[in-house]
Structure 1
Amino acid sequence: MARHLYSCPLRWSDMDAFGHVNNAVFVRYLEEARIDFMFRLAPGEGSESFQGGSVVARHEIDYLRPLVHRHEPVTIETWVTKVGAASLTVAYEVKDADQVYVRASTVVVPFDFDRGRPRRITAEEKMFLEEFRDDADPAAPDAGGRRGTAKEAVAV
């Protein structure tokens, strides 16, 4: 199982009046990491996997500690926890080497915008997603007492 790593820059405008990254901004961070994962790493040269579009059906976010503006980017680790016939669940940790700021998940539905309806996940997409699949609950502690640790990471 591999995990996708996305280096996300922090912007001055991401902060709120309390001096930390606003909770709504984290949704944009997750979107950036998910799009980088699904579109940039889509399988096959010239593949049309994930190119037809997708919609978000659900977000679930646990805010664990405040993140303040700095010049160094934050790492967003992304992996897949579920692949269904017409949906998938992407899990994330927004983190540094020594701490996790946010744990989240998103249910994504591939969508055919020409027909105006959801579509099934193709065999090629499923094969790609399975490379990044980890059924473990990202909120459950591992043997070392840490939560959601990576077994293998793919940096881009």
Structure 2
Amino acid sequence: MDAFKRDFPIHTPITVAWGEMDALQHVNNVVYFRYFETARIDFFNQIGLMEALQATGIGPILAQTQCRFKRPVLFPDTLQVGTLIKDLQDDRFTMEYHIFSEAQQCVTTIGSAEVVVFDFNNQRKATLPAAIRARLENYSTS
């Protein structure tokens, strides 16, 4: 787990809930997208992106997301969702997620999301503000 936390300086703890299990006795596939959403918003809060959205009206929207299941997650467990930035462009970036299971002591799931910068005041795509870009670059592997 130490290596995981070193590789993912921003990670979000999530406790698996009993109600997230499906008939096959593992976490249902749709739940992982909620885990990613929780980690994405936590990441944005930690780097100040949500504050910038309120101040400027420019912020993130989700363009697409995907998930690769490596191992099933079972109840009970606590997960750490690590987030990194990949492919940082002028108007978009890709977030990569790795879900580490404390019970299994390994990464069980890998996901990604393409995030587009959007001007909510004018309802159109926007350029990533320089201050936010600089914060994202601190967590970028590209």
- Pairwise TM-score range, normalised by the shorter structure: 0.7 to 0.9
**Structure with the higher helix share, 1 or 2:** 2
Contact 1:7 1:75 in 2 (8 A): yes
Q: Residue by residue, what CA displacement relative to the aligned partner does 1:113-150 show, whole Å, maximum 9, x if unpaired?
A: 22111211000001000000113xxxxxxxxxxxxxxx
Q: Secondary structure in 1 aligned to 2:51? A: coil
In the alignment, is residue 94 of structure 1 matched against residue 99 of structure 2? yes
Q: Distance in 2 between the 1:113 and 1:50 partners?
A: 9
Query: How far off is 1:14 after superposition?
Result: 0.9
Give the TM-score, by structure 2 length: 0.83
Give the TM-score, by structure 1 length: 0.76
2:78 aligned to which of 73, 76, 81: 73
1:24 aligned to which of 24, 30, 36: 30
Higher relative contact order (CA 8 A, sep 6+): 1
Alignment RMSD: 1.9
In the alignment, is residue 35 of structure 1 matched against residue 38 of structure 2? no
Moved more, 120-129 or 108-117: 108-117
Other-structure match for 1:5: 11
The one-letter code of the counterpart of 1:103 is I
Q: Secondary structure in 2 aligned to 1:80? A: strand
Aligned sequence identity (%): 29
5+ residue gaps, structure 1, are 136-156
Q: Secondary structure in 1 aligned to 2:11? A: strand
5+ residue gaps, structure 2, are 1-6
Count of residue pairs the alignment pairs up: 131
Question: Could you list the runs of 4 or more consecutive aligned residues of structure 1 that deviate by over 6 angstroms after TM superposition?
Answer: none
